[in-house]
Amino acid sequence: MTVDRQEPDASVDAAVQALEQQLSMLWRRARSNSYKVARRVHPDMEPAAYGLLVILQREGSMRLTDLAASIGVGKPSVSRQIAMLEHLGLVQKTADPLDGRAQSISLTAAGLTQLSTAQEARKEAFHQLMEDWSLSDLTTLGELISQLNQTYTRDNW
């Protein structure tokens, strides 16, 4: 059975194309900024590890499997990142109090300090970058990005 799909309206198609181009540019810039922020935490840290530190900051401690599931990445990839972060002194592994066979991962005091310092610098950079934006525009942009992120959770790809 063939499903008839309507061709998108030309104006909608143009708007989607413009959005895709702007998002592509934003993602490239975000990757570049992630590299800079990761280097503020530790000069040898990979950018992908920054997100793991933020989750551990929010959650306190987590098992590796839970950490991997929370970001939708395989356990081997997260395991490599955690090993690197542990080597840099930013995270530590301890016996899980609920299951002595498992390990719980948490930030070290140095990891928390370095992460907080990088976050403050990042926040200050955003303030400077967006200083001429109105509160209304900032709020609207945040709401629209939130809506976009929710749309991505539908996994329509």
CA distances from 100 to 30, 97, 106 (A): 39, 6, 16
Dump pLDDT digits (tens) for 84-130.
999 999 999 998 777 777 889 999 999 999 999 999 988 998 899 99
DSSP 131: T
Tell me the C-alpha distance between 64 and 59, whole Å.
13
Tell me the C-alpha distance between 138 and 125, whole Å.
15
Dump pLDDT digits (tens) for 26-64.
989 888 888 888 888 899 998 888 889 999 999 999 999
> What are the DSSP E strand ranges found in 8-148?
61-63, 91-96, 99-107
Tell me the C-alpha distance between 127 and 119, whole Å.
12
Q: Given this model, what pLDDT does residue 156 score?
A: 60
CATH 1.20.1250.20 for the 17-152 domain, yes or no: no
**Tokens at residue 76, please?**
């081997």
> Per-domain residue ranges for the chain?
17-152
Q: Is 129 exposed, middle or buried (0-12, 13-18, 19+ CB in 10 A)?
A: exposed
The predicted model scores a pTM of 0.73
